């Protein structure tokens, strides 16, 4: 009976060694202590907390990455809008005095084309979203961009320019500003959402970029985002730019014969365009600061994620050199156990036969 008891004990030890050897083999294969948190013992709660924090940081990184892409495209649009405003601000100098008829015709034609380009720029999309539409991301800020030169706003401004005479420049300019700033659905080229709906007063699109920091990044087509326009302005660089382009588009060669009234008109149009140039430059600068801040936060989240990942690795992964050594030792013990079983069984059989 002593032999049978000994054999049983050896068998039990062998089973335990086989299970241990299998576990060590899995650890060598995967590099991990186990396939569940149970393998971590008392370190399991800490590992779970660390993985949750890694997931949260990675979510921030992904959201910031998507937002940075939007900001970069928005910057490209603002750069082009600024270039258009600068071009026509400079071009207005050629309209001063007794300008050549062909120069006025060229500038007017270019202004009409620029109106369409500006409207389409403000309808820029990224990943299926209209960037300048506020929260109304699935509808264009300017519903009919290619017809903006014949929109209510452009038509009213053209009529005002057509009525310019030797004495009414100030009155015409004031009227044009009113038409350019109008939110009347029959006048404005902008969507009803932006001019008369929730978009008129809603805040900028923003991102929760860390636990305690929400960052504004959205720019809306019909109003300034982070700057205040100065000079001769409607209060919006977009309206100022459209006002200036529509005013130039409405000019005809005979207006140069109006003397001081014409000069006053062109001078004020140029000032309005300059206002849009300056506001757009400030807008781009502010958005650039936002971009830098987002990149800084993204790098911070990435750095913390790397640190947390190393901590999780220390908890969840095995020391490979030590595990291989233990595997080899366990393998040797198992082989010895098999030999011991064979010897014990032989002794048991000898005693039984004797």
- Examine the pLDDT at 256 and tell me if it is beyond 60: yes
pLDDT in tens, 290-323: 999 999 999 999 999 999 988 877 776 655 567 5
Residue 26: pLDDT band by 50, 70, 90 thresholds?
A: low
For the chain, helix (H) and strand (E) counts, in that order, are 9, 4
CA torsion sign for 118, 120, 123, 125 is negative
CA distance 47 to 316: 7
| Nearest residue to 276 via CA among 222, 233, 218, 215 | 233
* Lowest mean pLDDT segment, chosen from 37-41, 136-140, 205-209: 37-41
For residue 262, what pLDDT is reported?
Answer: 93
Region 339-349: mean pLDDT is 63
CATH architecture for the domain at 63-301:
Up-down Bundle (1.20)
pLDDT in tens, 162-199: 999 999 999 999 999 999 999 999 999 999 999 998 99
**DSSP states of 5-47 as a string?**
HHHHHHHHHHHHHHHHHHHHHHHHHHSBS-SSGGGGGGGHHHH
Domain boundaries, the chain: 2-51+308-353, 63-301
- Examine the pLDDT at 3 and tell me if it is beyond 50: no
For residue 1, what pLDDT is reported?
Answer: 45
CA distance 28 to 8: 30
Residue 347: pLDDT band by 50, 70, 90 thresholds?
A: low
**pLDDT > 90: percent of the chain:** 68
C-alpha distances in Å from residue 68, one per residue of 77, 219, 223: 14, 13, 21
Q: What is the pTM of this model?
A: 0.80
- Grouping H, G, I as helix, E, B as strand and the rest as coil, residue 216 is strand
Higher pLDDT, 256 or 340: 256
Region 115-125: mean pLDDT is 98
Residue 120: pLDDT band by 50, 70, 90 thresholds?
A: very high
């Amino acid at each position: 009976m002593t032999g049978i008891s000994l054999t049983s004990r050896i068998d039990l030890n062998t089973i335990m060694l086989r299970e241990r050897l299998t576990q060590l083999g899995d650890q060598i294969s995967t590099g991990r202590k186990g396939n569940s948190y149970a393998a971590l013992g008392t370190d399991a709660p800490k590992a779970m907390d660390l993985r949750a924090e890694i997931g949260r940081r990675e979510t921030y990184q992904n959201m910031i990455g998507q937002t940075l892409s939007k900001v970069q495209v928005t910057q490209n649009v603002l750069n082009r809008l600024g270039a258009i405003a600068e071009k026509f601000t400079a071009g207005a100098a050629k309209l001063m005095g007794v300008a050549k008829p062909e120069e006025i015709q060229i500038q007017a034609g270019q202004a009409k084309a620029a109106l369409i380009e500006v409207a389409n720029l403000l309808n820029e999309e990224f990943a299926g979203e209209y960037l300048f539409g506020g929260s109304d991301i699935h509808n264009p800020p300017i519903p009919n961009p290619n017809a903006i030169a014949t929109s209510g706003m452009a038509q009213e401004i053209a009529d005002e320019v057509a009525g310019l005479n030797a004495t009414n420049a100030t009155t015409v300019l004031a009227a044009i500003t009113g038409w350019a700033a109008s939110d009347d659905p029959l006048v404005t080229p902008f969507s009803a959402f932006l001019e008369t709906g929730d978009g008129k007063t809603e805040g900028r699109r923003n991102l929760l970029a860390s636990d305690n920091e929400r960052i504004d990044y959205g720019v809306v087509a019909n109003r300034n985002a982070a700057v205040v326009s100065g000079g001769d302005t409607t209060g919006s660089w977009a309206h100022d730019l459209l006002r200036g382009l529509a005013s130039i588009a409405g000019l005809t060669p005979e207006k140069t014969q109006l003397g001081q009234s014409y000069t006053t008109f062109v001078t004020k149009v140029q000032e309005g365009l300059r206002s849009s140039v300056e506001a757009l430059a400030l807008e781009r600068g502010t958005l650039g600061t936002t971009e830098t801040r987002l990149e800084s936060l993204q790098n911070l989240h990435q750095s913390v994620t790397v640190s947390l990942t190393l901590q999780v690795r220390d908890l969840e992964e095995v020391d490979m050199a030590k595990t291989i050594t233990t595997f080899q030792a366990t393998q040797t013990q198992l082989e010895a156990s098999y030999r011991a079983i064979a010897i014990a069984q032989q002794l048991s059989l000898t005693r039984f036969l004797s």
